[in-house]
Amino acid sequence: MMRTLVVFANLLVLLLIGAPNLAHNQATRTQQPKSAADEAKDFRAYVEKRLKKDDKKLEDICPIDTNIVARRVFKDYGAMFIADSNVEFPPKCVFRDENEVTAFQTNLDKKTVAIGARTVELQETAAEALEDAIKAAAKQGLTITPRGASASRRNYADTFRIWKSRFDPALAHWVKNKKISEQDAEIARKMETIDQVAQVIEWEKNGWWFSTGMNRSIFSSVAAPGTSQHLSMLALDVAEFSDKRVRKVLNEHGWYQTIIDDTPHFTYLGLSEEELPKRGLIPESKDGYIFWIPNISAELPPKKDKADKR
């Protein structure tokens, strides 16, 4: 009788202690699935881990803690650094000059694809994925064609020319509107390119925008000289970007929009959509488009003062 009572008491204790635990476990298991954005890994950590395998540091590739331009470029165009291992990403996020760009492009496996009257030149895996996408699109009666004459491979001079086409008129505009003095403008015109870019970042913080319409950031349509994904031969500007079906086909073949507001611009990542958050990209919806961008906004260091711009 005594023994039965003890067993009973033990059972009671077990029930009292165990039951809430059981209920708790169940609640944990039935939690709502997280969204892709919640589950996204940390972009910087992913890139650092990847570089470490090659005995490299982020600081050597893209010094985001000390250089304002590198920081900006890493955040805005960094998506390519998590691309599939068949893709060659550049040895640095800001190419200094034409020689550096040429040295990188020369050693790549490249392929030229003829599309109608135009040709595009890309890294081989990117080109092959594009060819497959074009075939898949054709089955749905759709086309994928380059937008403009320099839709894929570019050189340093191209990026410099495009930068100047925005920088010069915008600077003249803000001088005329007495926001920037002629003296400061002249100093900026003579700066080394990377310092000039840093200066534009500073000016734009005041709302003195350097886009064509002087109403948006210059970076919404132009990459700083030496920083474009087109230099890495992993980007294509697509004429049919506004067609949702075309975007879907491109996505299914590893091509994604990765730069906010640059809607015609697609980047070859060579990855499935499920893989992107695992590598630190988050989907940002804007105007019906989805841009896959680096998940780093929260951890970028606070803005540095002018002494840090180098």
| Residues found near Zn ion in the complex (CB under 5 A) | 235, 237, 265
Q: Which is nearer to Zn ion, 67 or 257 (CB)?
A: 257
Length of the chain counted residue by residue: 310
Distance CA(131)–CA(126), nearest Å, equals 9
Q: Provide the 10 A C-beta neighbour count for residue 19.
A: 10
- Cβ of residue 145: shortest distance to Zn ion, in angstroms? 14
Beta carbons of 71 and 44 less than 8 angstroms apart: no
> Which residue has its beta carbon closest to Zn ion?
265
Q: C-alpha angle with apex 286: 281 to 290, nearest 5 degrees?
A: 40
Instruction: Identify which of 236, 265, 275 has the alpha carbon closest to the alpha carbon of residue 131.
Output: 236
Closer CB to Zn ion, 184 or 261, in the complex: 261
We find the least distance from the C-beta atom of residue 122 to Zn ion, in angstroms, to be: 12
To the nearest whole angstrom, how small is the minimum distance from the Cβ of residue 261 to Zn ion? Answer: 12
Extended strands (E) in the chain: 110-115, 118-123, 235-237, 255-256, 265-268, 281-286, 289-294
Q: Specify the residue, 153 or 265, whose C-beta has the smaller distance to Zn ion.
A: 265
Q: Quick one: 82 or 223, whose CB is closer to Zn ion?
A: 223
Cβ distance to Zn ion smaller for residue 76 or 237? 237
Alpha helices (H) along 149-303: 156-176, 182-189, 193-204, 244-252, 275-278
Residue whose tokens read 């992913």: 46
Q: How far is the CB of 180 from Zn ion (least distance, A)?
A: 28
Nearest approach, Cβ of 56 to Zn ion (angstroms)?
26
CB of 212 vs Zn ion, minimal distance in Å: 15
By beta-carbon proximity to Zn ion, the closer residue of 162 and 188 is: 162
